[in-house]
Each structure stands twice: as C-alpha cells, then as structure tokens.
Structure 1
C-alpha cells in the first residue's frame, strides 16, 4: 500500500497516547468475529500482519454493553461503556478498565436523536459540556464505512470489506487508513462504537 514519506514536522494528535501516533500514513485491518452465541472478538493488524490491538466483549447484555480494547499481551488499554437510557446512543471511553470520571478520555454519541444521516460526535473529557464537538464522524447508509474529521480536516477513513460468506459466519473486516500524526487506537475505538450503534442498521 502507498505510504507518504515520513514527516517528523507533522503535529501529533495523541488522544489515547503518543505511542499510537506516527508521522506517516498508517493502514490497518480490523477483524471482528462473533464467537458462539454471546462473545465477540476484535483483532487489529498493521499492513504486515502484526497484531497491534485486540478487543472483546459480550454480544448481548441486559443492562449496558462494555467493550475492552487491549494490547496484544492482553493488558487493558481502553474500556468503552454504553450509557444506559441514552437517546443518542452515548458511549464513554475510559483508560484501562476504569469507570472513574477522572479516567474518562472522551464521549461518543449520535449527532442527534433523530437522524437522517449516520453521524457521530466525539467530545474530549475537557469538553464534555461543549456545544461544539472535537471530532465528527460521517458515515454511509450502504455499509459500515465512514470518515473522521477534526473540524474540516479529514484524519481517518474506514472502509468495510463486505463478503457475503464472511457476514453469515459472523465475521466483518475493515480497512482503516489513519492519517499522519493521528492516534490509531482512538480511531479503532470510534470504529467499535460506530459498529455498535449502526451495525444493525
């Protein structure tokens, strides 16, 4: 795949951490698989096939959903928690396995209660009550593909690689393009929330 030259002058955009930001275009493959009747598993690979992140969670939950994103060795990196009784399908993302407000990194929610388009707004912890979101996600009605913006600047693209056979086996694959300096762990978490909210659409 095409990669631009390394540019060490590109500003970093670390949301989860500096270690997930690189001064070049990052291409990822995200594989989502349903295991049995209740469990789901997520693997994030770079373009050489190296495992970068993994995720898991229960497919169904009576109260609210929770997803864990971990390092390849299983050490928890992020916990994504669905807010109960939320009109805008709100998810909160915390460091490690926390649910403490002091460990909140950002909140992801549908842009409006009644939507004509598949869109999400992302608010950093320092901007929870802000009127303007820090990041905006614009999706497609035809599949699980979307783009992530900071203001008017495109920072990441996600494309679903749909295969009918894989779909019926409970498998989904996504191509993720993360632009230079952008935190790829942050973008992966957006993909997981987007899939949770719009995956049944």
Structure 2
C-alpha cells in the first residue's frame, strides 16, 4: 500500500522523538524528519469526520464516523480512501477505552493498540495510556499522553518516560474564527508513526466529546 503524500523535510525542529523507528501501523509511516499536520473536524450528519492535511494543504488522512454505531466506530483512511485503522469504543469498560484494529477489521488478531484514560475523573488535565496489542498485562504503558485537550495543548511520550514523540497545539485562522470551527496542529517527531499519532488525536477528540456529553 502506497504511503500518503508528505511534504519535503522541514527545517530542524526542537529535539524529540526516538532514534530507531517504532512502527505501530506500518514502517513507512515513520518519517525520518518532523512531520507537521493540521487536523480539522468536519460537521455534518455523521459525527466523528475529520480531515488531516500536510503543510501544503494536501489530504494525508481522512477519518469517517458512523451514522449509527453501538461501538462509536471510526474508520481512518489514507488519501486514496484505503482503510488504515478501524477504531471503536469499548462498550463495557471501567475507563473510557478505545481499541484500534488494522484496516477495516475488528478481529482480535488484527488489534494494534488500546487507548484508555488513566482515570474516569480528570477535571483539569487529560491523561491517556496506550498499550500495544502484545502488551496484554497493561501493567506498564507503551505510550502516554498528557495535557489539556480543552486548550488543545497535549504531549505524547514513549512509554512511561519523558521522551517526547509528538505535540498537539491549537491553530487559529480567519476562517476558523469566523465559522467557530476547531483547527489544531500536530507535530510528529522523527521516526514516530504519524498515522498512529493521528489516530490518538481522533480518540482524544472522542473522549473529550463523551466527557462533555
């Protein structure tokens, strides 16, 4: 499967990321340079539709929600409409928990990772732990996210460490201010799977929406 288009390598950015690529979705989604993306939620009949573009405005990832879904299902597609991930919320869970599967599958054998809030009650900051499918004990997370999703200021880390792998920040434009829409940027550091990080951002949006509801 061909990788979505990416912009040319940008100028050096602040240090972060990891030395050796750690692919979650696929190795070719681990760029050897910083990837800058923009995330925009689309408002319509279907809840949970997103468009993720590069610095040139080209679509890299599209996210499709569902009209009616017991599991609150989201499908992540590449620019050509090929399914990359199927994400769904666990109906019965002590924490807000989402699971991501390869392609459009929901088979247990295709599970890639599980993301869950560290606590149901998070009044000020959002904290989310991510466990790869091979990490069945869930004793130590493989990745984590901390920050304020309300302010769109979140950081992603490798495991339970301070190794930064990606950051999310709010973006403002004349059009978004006029229409009241929500745009936010995503900085993915070198050798980090940008499709994986994009999926986590979508899950964060869904967790935030559930909390508000």
Q: Distance in 1 between matches of 2:69 and 2:48?
A: 16
Q: Distance in 2 between matches of 1:89 and 1:146?
A: 18
1:113 aligned residue:
120
Q: Distance in 1 between matches of 2:178 and 2:65?
A: 20
Cα 1:168–1:122 shift into 2, 3 Å: farther
Answer 1 or 2: which has greater strand percent: 1
Q: Match for 2:147 among 132, 139, 149?
A: 139
| Alignment RMSD | 2.5
2:94 aligned residue:
87
1:15 aligned residue:
24
Q: Distance in 2 between matches of 1:74 and 1:84?
A: 27
1:196 aligned residue:
206
Q: Give the 3-state SS of the residue equivalent to 1:191 in structure 2.
A: helix
User: Superposition pairs for residues 36-185 of structure 1, below 5 Å?
Assistant: 36=45, 38-58=46-66, 61=68, 63-116=70-123, 117-140=125-148, 142-150=150-158, 151-161=161-171, 166=176, 169=179, 171-185=181-195
Q: Which moved more, 1:160-169 or 1:126-135?
A: 160-169
Q: Distance in 2 between matches of 1:168 and 1:79?
A: 33
Deviation of the 1:142 alpha carbon? 4.2
Q: Give the 3-state SS of the residue equivalent to 1:73 in structure 2.
A: coil
2:4 aligned residue:
none
Deviation of the 1:44 alpha carbon? 1.4
Deviation of the 1:158 alpha carbon? 0.7
Provide the TM-score with structure 2 as the length reference: 0.82
Q: Distance in 2 between matches of 1:194 and 1:132?
A: 20
Provide the TM-score with structure 1 as the length reference: 0.87
Structure 1 stretches of at least 4 aligned residues deviating more than 6 Å after TM superposition: none
Q: Distance in 1 between matches of 2:44 and 2:156?
A: 29
Query: How many residue pairs align between the two structures?
Result: 196
Deviation of the 1:4 alpha carbon? 1.9
Cα 1:19–1:63 shift into 2, 3 Å: same
Q: Distance in 2 between matches of 1:195 and 1:43?
A: 13
Gaps of 5+ in 1: none
Cα 1:155–1:85 shift into 2, 3 Å: same
